[in-house]
Amino acid sequence: MSTVEQIDSILQNIENEVPSVEGAVIASRDGFVITHTLTGEDAEEIAAMVATTTGVSERMAATLSAGEVEETSISAAERSVFLYRAGEEGVLALIAGEDANVGMINLQARRSTDKIESLLADPSTAAA
Amino acid sequence: MSKLKIVVTGPVCAGKTTFIHSLAESPPATTEQRVRNPSDKSKTTVALDFGRATIGGHPVNLFGTPGQARFHYMREILVDGTDGLVLLVPSDQEDGIEKTRKLMAPLMAKMDSPLVVGITRTELAQSPIREKIRDSFGSRALQIERIDARKEDHCRCLVTALINRR
């Protein structure tokens, strides 16, 4: 199984464990799609925004001497987005529906980001 | 005196972050991230740069945009309410002017604030880019200058032109 396939199976597992998660994107920190499960949205555009939002979050945390950012979230009326750092290379973005169980999403995301981090450190994903 | 909002934009590797570093009174807030597949640079701006300066007696807030096409929405957000736009065009990229036109088209359509153009990285290539810039932006640009974004006086001159003719 290729590295990207292994990451895809981690994303699939999150969606299975937390049904309110409707889609996931792994973005590189400079704004490219590494892999995603979106069907209706433009993953390339979302990946760029994931990098932008993460960049601002980290900058704001640094300005406030707040330490490392664990999670960035956007709660909107109909959907929510949760962003988690996945090592030096990537960001995991989870898009959830109205009935999102934030605790479950956080738990699953944190279980997954370590695995994603080690997979992303594999140079074969660099061209993805 | 009210603060002026000046936005610095242009394609990737034009020197936007450098320009803000040159003018900012204290170290600017930047959002550079490491490039995953480095080609010509190792870090890139993903959101914005922010720095404060005083130019011609005016307090100025400087906002730098990302340069890549995929960050178009950040440019649209940042130009909102701007008092003037500094466009940096790198002269050492063959498609620099084409990238600049594409990047500027949505901004030109929605803003009517004044514009100045800095031609950068001129030591790396001597291309006849000024004519092309004049053809593309001449009717909107107050001034088109060759500059070195690392030099404070060059950057200051360009912003001064923008402020004075506002």
CA distances from residue B147 to A125, B101, B116, B123 in whole angstroms, order as listed: 39, 19, 12, 10
Nearest residue of A to residue B42 by CA position? Answer: A30
The residue count for chain B? 166
Q: Where are the domains of chain A?
A: 3-101
Which 3 state secondary structure label does DSSP give B154? helix
- Proportion of chain A above pLDDT 90, given as a percent: 86
Fold adopted by A3-101: Beta-Lactamase (3.30.450)
Expressed as residue numbers, the domain containing B124 is: 4-164
pLDDT value, residue B53: 97
Give the CATH number of the domain where residue B155 resides: 3.40.50.300
pTM of the model: 0.88
How many domains in chain B? Answer: 1
Q: What is the pLDDT of residues B125-150, one digit of tens each?
A: 666 788 889 999 888 899 999 999 99
Q: How confident is the model at residue A99 (pLDDT cuts 50, 70, 90)?
A: confident
Q: CA B111, B49, B89: angle at the middle one, nearest 5?
A: 60
Residues of A in contact with B33 (CB under 8 A): 29-31, 51, 55
Q: Using DSSP, state whether B75 is helix, strand or coil.
A: helix
Q: What pLDDT score does B166 carry?
A: 65
- Residue B59's pLDDT is 96
Q: Tell me the per-residue pLDDT of A53-82, one tens digit each, with 9 for 90 and over.
A: 999 999 999 999 999 999 999 999 999 999
H helix runs in A31-101, sequence order: 43-63
Distance (Å) from the alpha carbon of A105 to chain B's nearest alpha carbon: 26
What is the ipTM, given to two decimal places?
0.83
Counted across chains A and B, CB pairs separated by less than 8 A come out at 56
Q: What pLDDT shows up at residue B122?
A: 83
Q: Which residue ranges in chain B fall short of pLDDT 70?
A: 1, 125-127, 166
Phi, psi of B106 (to 5 degrees): -70, -30
Query: How many angstroms separate the Cα of B132 from the Cα of each of A38, B85, B140?
Result: 41, 19, 14
Evaluated on CA atoms A93, A99, A102, A108, the torsion sign reads negative
